[in-house]
Structure 1
Amino acid sequence: MLISAILRAKGSTVATVRPQASVTELLQALSRHNIGAVVVSEDGLSIEGIVSERDVVRQLHARGPRVLEEPVSAIMTTPVRTCEPGADVHVLRKTMTEHRIRHIPVLDDGRLAGIVSIGDVVKSEIEELEMEKASLVDYLHG
């Protein structure tokens, strides 16, 4: 299965935040959209970084509550691992697992085209296994 199939099912909307936004504004966006990571982008098309709930928690622990007023650019992860719509889900799962990454932005011709979470990848693999099981059951009973 390809990443493009996941994006067709879930949509291509990506929550973004500008690098100069405060960490408090980032937390508001995470809560409002009920998501675990936001792409940092000045224009909504390019990627400057990515920030997850984990990043905020680690920085709160290391630097205390003053981090909440700092810009997102101070805590964002760079460089950002990305993939293309034509990438294979199995390859992406391996990358996410090996590098302990939960969210990977999707770029199409260098422009932000979506984001895939580890949950999206697991869901797609479960659906694929269920289809294979149904095919085998049909074959055995058919």
Structure 2
Amino acid sequence: MRINDVIHGKPRQDVVTIRPDATVRELISLLRDHNVGALVVSTDGSSVDGIVSERDVVRRVLDDADMLEAPVSSIMTTQVQTCEGTAAVTDLMQVMTEHRIRHVPVLTDGALTGIISIGDVVKSRIGELEFERDQLDNYLHKS
């Protein structure tokens, strides 16, 4: 299975982005409003300048009372693991496990086209396993 297959199976394929100069308060609001765990940081909605997650906020907000008014760029991850939509999901699973990451922006010809989460990957893998089980079950009971 390819990453694009997983992306097309999601209820929403759009990618919510946030500008690096937006505040952490704005970030939290977007995370809540879109019910997502991470946003791609992008100056133009197409490039990937960074990624920021709920964990990034949680790790820093207690240390700095003014963090909510700080820019997203102050807490974002700038070394972002990305993938192409044509890549195999199994390859992405390995990258996510090795780097201990939960969200990966998907690029097509260098432009942002999606985001895939560990939940998306697990859901697709469960679907594949259920399909295989059903095929085996049908084969065994038709003989």
Determine if the alignment matches structure 1 residue 84 to structure 2 residue 90. Answer: no
- TM-score normalized with structure 2 length: 0.96
1:126 matched residue in structure 2? 126
- How much does 1:137 deviate? 0.6
Superposition CA RMSD, Å = 0.9
- Single out whichever of 16-25 and 86-95 deviates more from structure 2: 86-95
Uncovered stretches (5+) of structure 1, i.e. residues with no partner? none
Could you give the per-residue CA deviations for residues 15-69 of structure 1, whole angstroms, max 9, x where no partner exists?
10000000000000000001100000011000100000000011113x3221111
- TM-score normalized with structure 1 length: 0.96
Determine if the alignment matches structure 1 residue 140 to structure 2 residue 101. Answer: no
- Single out whichever of 17-26 and 93-102 deviates more from structure 2: 93-102
Uncovered stretches (5+) of structure 2, i.e. residues with no partner? none
* Equivalent residues, number: 141
Q: Which stretches of structure 1, 4 residues or longer, exceed 6 Å deviation after superposition?
A: none
The alignment partner of 1:54 has SS state of helix
In 2, Cα distance between the equivalents of 1:30 and 1:131?
33
Give matches, 1:64-83, under 5 Å.
64-83=64-83
Identity %: 57
1:103 matched residue in structure 2? 103
Amino acid at match of 1:102: R
The alignment partner of 1:57 has SS state of helix
1:116 matched residue in structure 2? 116
- How much does 1:12 deviate? 2.5
